[in-house]
Structure 1
Amino acid sequence: MIALIWAAIGYLLGSIPFGMVIARAMGLGDLRQIGSGNIGATNVLRTGNKPAALATLLLDAGKGAIAVLLARYFVGESAAIVAAGAAFLGHCFPVWLNFKGGKGVATFLGTLIALDWRMGLMACAVWLLVALIARISSLSALIAAATAPIFAWALGRTDLILVSLFMAVLIFIRHQANIARLLDGTEPRIGGKKK
């Protein structure tokens, strides 16, 4: 019962569509009609508004971290892990948007940082390194997601392998179209407008 309660809390926190809220508040329009139609920071960046994109990134990561930290504070580590997965699901499938949400990368990174800051920073470092080299957000996200379970194992956090693997698999599923464009060389670069 306690696990279900924290799953619900995590889901509801994760389902807050900060990208859409910020875009509308700053007069950027409906994100679902811009670029990829995604509600995340990368698509907000395609509007050309960098502060809005940064705010979206921080808030999407923050909601995952808050879900983890609250669950850990009130219950413990097992509840924190449940809340992490639920917050990630909430971002990807928010009830407020007919379960059509983002791809979960920022929320994924936020939950990892809160679960184990070492693991989270490693995943962020991988994302940043790939982004600096390739300048392709989706490729950065896919590689960071794929390495997260490895980092959990290397750090001795075997309790985090399953949740990080779950999020990584879902990130790959949510990026199917991106993977297809990566393979044919048409995936847009960071800061570019999606054709």
Structure 2
Amino acid sequence: MTDYWVIIAGYLIGSIPFSYIVGRLWAGVDIRKCGSGNVGMTNVWRNAGPAAGITALVLDLGKGMLAVWLARQYGNDLIVSLSGIAVLVGHSWPVFLGFKGGKLVATGVGVITAISLHVGITAMLTWIMVTGITRYVSVGSITAVVLIPFLMYAFHLEPPFLVLGGFAAVFAVYKHIPNIKRLIAGTEPKVVFKKS
């Protein structure tokens, strides 16, 4: 049972607040005090620029993939699934930022991609398509993550991974409750595509 240390490692990896760090280094801003206050890629993009937002996205995806890779070296499917959950918990409730973090979408897709490339790519394409059509990042994010457990089932992933996918879907929706309220009220900001 000594392999369970990788679950703790997953949480700590998830707790690394890349969006906060990128905002600080790129534009000298505390992303928690800008825009929506969310420590995530969209808020970084809006307040520190597209390049900073993409950098935050890649790093958040990467930490999800790293946690899964590490767990695969030392544990079975259950350990990998628990480590995946741990990195998502760390991203959303990071010890390094007083347990106030992001909405787990980018890191979640990183976790899922490391487990199943087919599911991860399908989720990413869904996010791009839905966000492009609706112009709401939140709608794209919720749709993509809610789709994940169904994709995992369709691709015949093992039961521990189905639990992970269900966890990601439920908690992504929970973390997006403020966005859902703004969507209902008609105050959720849309993605703006600026012409060069």
User: Considering the TM-score relative to the shorter chain, is it more than 0.5?
Assistant: yes
Structure 1 ranges of 4+ moved more than 6 A: none
8 Å contact 2:14–2:88 — kept in the other structure? Answer: yes
Secondary structure class of the residue paired with 2:35: coil
The secondary structure found in structure 1 opposite 2:47 is coil
1:111 to 2:111 alignment: yes
Note the aligned Cα RMSD (angstroms).
1.4
Is 1:32 the equivalent of 2:32? yes
Q: C-alpha offsets along residues 92-151 of structure 1, whole Å, 9 cap, x if unaligned?
A: 000011101111110011000001111111111111110110111110111111111100
Report the counterpart of residue 190 of structure 1 in structure 2. 191
**Distance across 2 between alignment mates of 1:99 and 1:106:** 18
Residue 135 of structure 2 is matched in structure 1 by 135
2:70 aligns to what?
A: 70
TM-score, normalised on structure 2? 0.93
- Counterparts of 1:81 and 1:191, CA distance in 2: 36
Deviations along 1:34-89, whole A, 9 cap, x unmatched?
Answer: 00001110000111511110000000010010000111023233322111110010
Matches within 5 A, 1:144-155: 144-155=144-155
Matched, 1:11 2:14: no
Counterpart AA for 1:86: A
Residue 61 of structure 1 is matched in structure 2 by: 61
Count of aligned pairs between the two proteins: 192
Gaps of 5+ in 1: none
What residue in structure 1 maps to residue 180 of structure 2? 179
TM-score when normalising by structure 1: 0.94
Letter in 1 for 2:61: A
SS at structure 2 position matched to 1:16: coil
Partner of 2:125: 125
Q: Secondary structure at the match of 1:46?
A: helix
Identity of aligned residues (%): 37
Query: Secondary structure of 1:150's match?
Result: helix
